Amino acid sequence: MDLEERIDRLESIEQIRQLVARYALCVDTRDLEGLVGLFVDDVSVGRFGTGRAALAESFRQGLEPLGLTILLVGTHVIDLVDAQHASGEVYCTGEIDRDGELLRQAILYRDTYRRDDQTWHFVRRTHLLWYSAPMGVDPRHLPPADWPTGHVGRGTLPEAFPTYREFHGIEGSENEI
């Protein structure tokens, strides 16, 4: 790898890190225009359709019932596939006011990124959950959250990690990632 390729690689990694940080800031400030601008133009939004307008409506509906949110980005592993494609895993904790109750969440985002016109964007973000618990409640003893419809309880992690199950001798899981 020559010097130019190495510099491009480092710049790509930093741009992707900033993309993730901007996502958290846009969610917390309810900057929907900024938020959807972090995604590719042709983003697939499931039942909402395709494109940034569909994504904005999805975010609007998801964020509307929430009060204060504080997303704190932690561990971020980025795997560059080539000069235009990458994937990543992002640990995030969140403090989320839902229906007047302050919840703490431990989240793993599994991301797919694409570079268009020298700018990295999200293609997809998959939101996985360790737990969502009221502040002061030990999440290890909560029932399953039935995420994303249930908002309090344990998520599918860490048992969805094959290496975690193997390490602890746990049989297969339908929620494997």
Question: What's the predicted TM-score (pTM) here?
Answer: 0.92
CA atoms within 13 A on the CB side of 36: 18
CA 7 vs CA 10, 54, 134, 146: distances in Å: 5, 35, 44, 43
Confidence of residue 146 (pLDDT cuts 50, 70, 90): confident
| Contact assessment for residue 76 and residue 20, using Cβ atoms and an 8 Å cutoff | yes
Domains of the chain, first to last: 3-135 (3.10.450.50)
Confidence of residue 151 (pLDDT cuts 50, 70, 90): confident
Number of H helices, E strands in the chain: 4, 5
- Euclidean distance between CA atoms 60 and 49, whole angstroms: 14
* pLDDT tens digits along 82-130: 999 999 999 999 999 998 899 999 999 999 999 999 999 999 999 999 9
| Contact assessment for residue 61 and residue 77, using Cβ atoms and an 8 Å cutoff | no
CA neighbor of 29 nearest in space, from 59, 68, 73:
68
| Contact assessment for residue 101 and residue 60, using Cβ atoms and an 8 Å cutoff | no
Contacts 24+ apart (CB under 8 A), 169-177: 177/110, 177/128
CA neighbor of 129 nearest in space, from 99, 150, 102, 112:
150
* pLDDT tens digits along 132-143: 999 999 998 899
Mean pLDDT of 161-172: 90
